[in-house]
Amino acid sequence: MNALATSLRMAVTAMLRQRLRSMLTSVGISIGVAAVVLVAALGTGARGEIDKQIQSLGSNVIFVFSQPATKSGAKSRANMGMGLTERDAEAIRREATAVTAVTVYSEVSAQVMSELGNGKIGVMGVDESYFEVRGYEVASGRRFNESEAQTKAKVALIAPTAQQKLFGNQDPVGRWVRVGKHPFRVIGTLRSKGQSPFEDQDDRILIPIGTWRSRVVPTLGDRVQLVMASAKSAEHSGEAERQVKQILMQRHQIAEGEEPDFRVGTQQEFQKMQEGIFTVLTVLLLSVAAISLLVGGVGVMNIMLVGVTERTREIGIRMAIGAKPADIQAQFLLESIALTLFGGLAGIALATGLMLAFAKDLGFPMQLSGQAVAVALGTSAAIGLTFGFWPARRAAHLDPIEALRHE
């Protein structure tokens, strides 16, 4: 142990003697280790965030989008991508047994004004089930009731981001907002839902779908952009998806094997898609890590070989006064490990800096875990050991007489 401590001190001294060289040599290792640390941090931060975002969509939700069906290159019939209607939703509600709730919505981004401010905000037409299916909760005030929905009343609920834009810190309940030429009374505010995989779910106001169709976008008839259905449970979501598909195929008179004018997606699919993106990012970073570590390792090997040549005489002296080949080998291995560990520490610092700098832009927390640090340092040491082995072996096998004669 005493010998090891002495050797370690010698290794660090040797490294510090060539500060610039050591720093340049360890840059490759630093970048590689930073990439490793970022991957680990993404692993802890991003996965949790993806789950949270997917959960924020509601639970066991099935989404039905309309999509323009193409036949022989031409878009078919009156179907320009708005093929879903409110009657489709009613049919699903009636017939699909694995589904508990069905809701529809249409959304348009519009300039919304209040007496205090204005902004480009999502105006969503929704029915009463929407709140359940998507898990929106009322923070203050109330939802619109059935009679307001039927009479196409001009009432709105406002989500936090939109509320901030339009009213700042003022309480909006009871005040008025204007969409186009129509004033809406704010009857309630919503709790924050945060970021979904697609958008800021808080930058919007919710109005009854009937009102939306007659006042905001009067040209669409009873067509809707999206139908959402809640499956009874996670186990039922496959069955629910099949039922929804079947009902819509029938209603839209689409034969088996023909391309439908709608697309059904489940929450699980979104999750998979998100995780796919995450996997791509991980693979990318790990490739950067692998290449940097390889190139960095070769750099370390190169500089260690240079060091062995430069210090041939020193090696000869050490051998003459009693260093065994194993002592010399250990000395140079320790030096290369000290070099890569230094690179590793710099890499951890670099990764931490990047995380702090970009945490806001990424919108989710990345944490430097003890595990990541351990993996990073372990990797660095392993690189030092691997790429230092051959130079160290070469030093250990020098002939002391030749080495002493070396100029």
Q: Counting contacts by CB under 8 A, is residue 3 touching another protein?
A: yes
Nearest distance in Å: CB 399, another protein: 9
Instruction: Copy the structure tokens of residue 297.
Output: 């390792």
Nearest distance in Å: CB 327, another protein: 6
Instruction: Copy the structure tokens of residue 378.
Output: 């372990």
Q: Counting contacts by CB under 8 A, is residue 404 touching another protein?
A: yes
**Alpha carbon distance 376, 403 (integer Å):** 37
211 with 182: CB under 8 angstroms? no
105 with 228: CB under 8 angstroms? yes
- The secondary element (H helix, E strand) that includes residue 183 is strand 182-190
- Contacts of another protein in 274-313 (CB under 8 A): 313
Nearest distance in Å: CB 8, another protein: 12
Residue with Cβ nearer another protein (7 or 367)? 7
Question: Which residues 6+ apart lie within 8 Å of 330 measured at CB?
Answer: 7, 392
Nearest distance in Å: CB 322, another protein: 2
Nearest distance in Å: CB 370, another protein: 32
Residue with Cβ nearer another protein (252 or 318)? 318
Residue with Cβ nearer another protein (5 or 74)? 5
Q: Counting contacts by CB under 8 A, is residue 18 touching another protein?
A: no
Nearest distance in Å: CB 313, another protein: 7
Residue with Cβ nearer another protein (137 or 407)? 407
Parallel, antiparallel, or unpaired: how do β-strands 61-66 and 182-190 relate?
unpaired
**Alpha carbon distance 387, 32 (integer Å):** 15
Residue with Cβ nearer another protein (71 or 324)? 324
Q: Counting contacts by CB under 8 A, is residue 357 touching another protein?
A: no
Q: Which of 348, 304, 350 is nearest to 25 (CA)?
A: 304
381 φ/ψ angles, rounded to the nearest 5 degrees? -60, -40
186 with 138: CB under 8 angstroms? no
Q: Counting contacts by CB under 8 A, is residue 2 touching another protein?
A: yes
Which stretches of 96-153 are DSSP H helices?
Answer: 130-134, 146-150
Nearest distance in Å: CB 4, another protein: 10
Residue with Cβ nearer another protein (220 or 317)? 317
Site string for another protein, 312-341 (x = CB under 8 A): -xx-xxxxxxxxxxxx--------------
Q: Counting contacts by CB under 8 A, is residue 6 touching another protein?
A: yes
* β-strand partners of 184: 177
* β-strand partners of 102: 229
How many residues belong to the site for another protein (CB under 8 A)?
Answer: 22
**Alpha carbon distance 70, 84 (integer Å):** 16
Residue with Cβ nearer another protein (15 or 40)? 15
188 with 143: CB under 8 angstroms? yes
Kindly list the residues in this chain that would bind another protein in the complex (CB under 8 A): 2-3, 5-6, 17, 313-314, 316-327, 400-401, 404
